[in-house]
Chain A
Amino acid sequence: MKLLRAEFQNFRMLRDLQLEFSIDPNTNLTVIRAANESGKTTILHGLQWALYGDAALPDKGEGFRLHPIDWDEREGNRVPIIATVEFELTTYRRTSGEVRETRRRYRLVRSAFEEVDGGTRRFDSTVKLFALNETGASPIDAPEALINDELPPELREVFFTDGDRALSFIEADVALSTKRERVQRAIRSLLGLGVVDGAIKHVRKSAAEVNKKAKQVGGSDQLNSIATRLEAMENNREKLETDLEDAKQQFSAFDEKVDEVDREIAAALQKGDKVKLRKDLENARAEISQLDSQLAAANKEHSALFRGRSIATGLLTPVLVGAFNTLEELHNQGKIPNTTIPVLYDRLEAKVCICGETLVPGNPDGDNRRAHIQKLIDDNQRADEIQEIITDLYYSTKSLQGGRGAETSAWQEEFKKVVERRDGIQTLRDEAGRKLRALEMQLDSLPDTDIQGLRETRRRYKDLRDRYLSKQSSIGTQLTGLSREREVLEVERDRLLREQKRGARILAELEVTQDVMKILKSAYQRITNEELRKVSELMNSVFLEMIGADPEQGSMIQRAEISHEFDIIVYGPNDRTLNPDRDLNGASRRALTLAFILALTKVSEVEAPNVIDTPLGMTSGFVKHSILRTAVRESTQLILFLTHDEIAGCEEIIDESAGLVFTLTNPVHYPKMLVNDPGVSERRVVRCECDHRSDCQLCLRYEDVQFEL
């Protein structure tokens, strides 16, 4: 298929727009120059809507308005929306040993109405297809079937590519099985495997029909029995094939679900694991409670500084000097009686007896002597009350005198320790408090995601996925066994048929179906193996050529391939696999997707357009040139929507390759971006014939003026 022209009426900002596309094989490039917000993406949507209907619109057209947003209701509140696409199809048919090429032109018209009475209501669109000939246009039935055959909807992304989003074949946020399925579907469709597959199924049924005839030949019970068994096996095989297909689909579905949950978990974990956070919170609270009791104990110690003896000692020692001196004097004058007692007290304190023997407590001899001395003290207490009090006072307060002359008092030492302890614990407590607050805030900011629940869901999906995988293997094994058994039985059946009078004809039918099957199957095999390899190789060379000039990526990326499992893999040094989403820069990812699309289209030898919006965004310099040159070379018909920036530096390539270049302008860009007033008040895309090197009264933009200056 080649696109010839398109026409839009009231399709969003395309109020009335005609586009033509180059079909000249030597200048297959059409460049539509358009600044941002000048209808590029709208045209891409418009073309797809024309071909595939609402299903091709964002969100399948749900809530997607088609009529111009500034539609004037005075023009009526029933807006007709029409998209017309004219295209050319080339068919090849083998007649009398030759392949004959035929070109036919068609016009596809899709129309819908939207009622703009307050809200927007759209009625189902109508599509009509006409074959164009010299005399006019003849309508064709079932236009959808033709379009689906020529440009299968599942290949929409191959033919209509949004440069910014065309990463569906490699993007990381879908399951591997989904990407694989997309790649596989694109390859199968483009390489025509669907047709061959259908043929294999139908021929197999024919063979089964013939087998039934073998049953009816008669004359041999054994033949009848074998044919019956083969029939049962065929039914069995059909059922297994259906089950296998079902298992594959279920596997993919659950694989996708596992991936979806994985993404949810990852997103939730990025914000924090609620369960883990709660645990952390508990720990932080326990730590705080522990520190609080330590702090309370330290406070008590602090408070105890004001009830203990040391504060009194500290404060009074210097002022009680007179009292001490009086007591000391009395002592010296022997006026403190009971001298024996104090002497004995002195000895107990000195821990050495007058005779020189030990009075150390804990020593058995010492303890005995101490008990004896204590008894002497008790026996000798005979003084009067005052003497007793003073004597008691003198000896009890000796320690009060001890503080005299010391630089710092015991209280100051204790206070210093209390301060250190309180401050130390308080610092830890403040820190723990901050930690707790941070955790609480983190917990509050968490979405109400139940990670534990998600993990459980993931586990269930994974179990189901694995079950379907194992089912696939089990069915695969059964099918292999069945096929071996069948081959043996078929040989035996054919031998028996040969023996029968009426068998020769049935045998011939069986031989024919078997031969046809053999051809179809080997063609299928060849397409999947060899053609897939060709797509892979071409994709690799196109990709490397595109990014070859990028020194940053060039040294890192060694090659790219499509595996037998239909995975697109990029290799770095030492055959290390790279993650296209993470390890490749924007330009390289774009190049890889374009390379795959172009290689697939090229190898399939399908004549199909590649319509690409903003293919050169995020690229510059030689890489940009190289992507453009390669795309032009590898595509049958290349239609590019380019911004002025994308065109900059690529003018010469466009000079050489473009058969058609024109410019689209959005008049609302005046006066900010457009130099001249286009004289159009409504939002609509206006076309002029200016190419990539020229400007006119309508399309002249300020950046161009500045550039020229």
Chain B
Amino acid sequence: MPLNDRKIVTIILEQCDGIEERCDGYKEEIIEVVSDILEFERGHRVSATNIQKKINEKCNAAARFLATRRSQSTGTEEMNS
């Protein structure tokens, strides 16, 4: 429940256009990560949560997605998360 949720979401979405599409669906994945992080932040402001852990995991998941996609395209991904 942020003060101006809609506004920030709109601006963030626009900024996502500027990032590199590192693999197929990467941008979409990152948008999801950023939206979730903001959601975590909002929740964290209302009642303290282990936000660092949540964000680490979120980034980790996106990285796994990226690494997997890359390995699929090159066949060298090492599945050792």
Contact = CB atoms under 8 A, between A and B. Distances in A.
In the complex, is A directly touching B at CB under 8 Å?
yes
A509 B41 contact: no
B62 A512 contact: yes
Interface of A: 89, 91-94, 99, 141-142, 145-146, 148-150, 152, 189-192, 194-196, 198-199, 202-203, 205-206, 209-210, 501-502, 504-505, 508-513, 515-516, 518-520, 522-523, 526-527, 604-606
A206 B52 contact: yes
Interface in B1-50: 1-9, 11-12, 14-16, 18-20, 22, 30, 33-35, 37-42, 44-47
B33 A99 contact: no
A194 B3 CA distance: 10
Contacts of B78: 501-502, 504-505
B59 A519 contact: no
A523 B15 contact: yes
B34 A519 contact: yes
Contacts of A150: 1, 3
Given A203-B55, A522-B15, A522-B18, A149 B7 contact: no
Among B4, B5, B20, B38, max chain A CB count under 10 A is at B4
B61 to A, nearest CB: 9
Nearest to B54: A202
B33 A512 contact: yes
Instruction: Identify the 4 closest CB pairs spanning chains A and B, nearest first.
Output: A509-B63, A508-B63, A92-B6, A508-B67
Contacts of B67: 504-505, 508
Contacts of B15: 518-520, 522-523, 526
A504 B77 contact: yes
Given A206-B52, A523-B8, A527-B8, 14 more contacts: A146-B1, A149-B45, A150-B1, A192-B4, A195-B8, A198-B44, A205-B55, A505-B63, A505-B67, A509-B63, A512-B62, A513-B59, A523-B11, A526-B11
18 contacts: A93-B5, A99-B9, A149-B1, A150-B3, A191-B4, A191-B7, A195-B42, A196-B38, A199-B55, A206-B52, A505-B78, A515-B22, A516-B34, A518-B15, A519-B34, A520-B37, A523-B12, A605-B6
A203 B62 contact: no
A153 to B, nearest CB: 13
B48 to A, nearest CB: 9
Nearest to B20: A515
A198 B51 CA distance: 10
Nearest to B6: A92
B72 interface: no
Contacts, number: 154
Nearest to B22: A511
A555 B78 CA distance: 73
B11 to A, nearest CB: 5
A516 B46 CA distance: 23
B73 interface: no
Contacts of A502: 78, 80
B55 A89 contact: no
B5 A512 contact: no
B5 A92 contact: yes
B47 to A, nearest CB: 5
Contacts of B2: 149, 192, 195
Given A508-B70, A511-B63, A195 B20 contact: no
Contacts of A94: 9, 35
A189 B37 CA distance: 18
Contacts of A198: 41, 44-45
Given A192-B2, A195-B41, A516 B47 contact: no
A604 B11 contact: no
Given A206-B55, A511-B63, A526-B11, A604 B44 contact: no
A100 to B, nearest CB: 10
Given A91-B1, A92-B5, A522-B18, A512 B70 contact: no
Given A190-B4, A192-B4, A504-B78, A142 B47 contact: yes
A142 B46 contact: yes
B18 A205 contact: no
A518 B55 contact: no
Contacts of B30: 512, 515-516, 519
A561 to B, nearest CB: 22
A203 B59 contact: yes
A588 B57 CA distance: 53
A526 B10 CA distance: 12
A687 to B, nearest CB: 32
B31 to A, nearest CB: 9
Contacts of A512: 30, 33, 59, 62-63, 66
A505 B81 contact: yes
A345 B64 CA distance: 141
A93 B81 CA distance: 31
A146 B3 CA distance: 10
Contacts of A606: 3-4, 7
A445 to B, nearest CB: 52
B44 to A, nearest CB: 7
A107 B16 CA distance: 38
Contact of B3 (A152, A206, A210, A519): A152
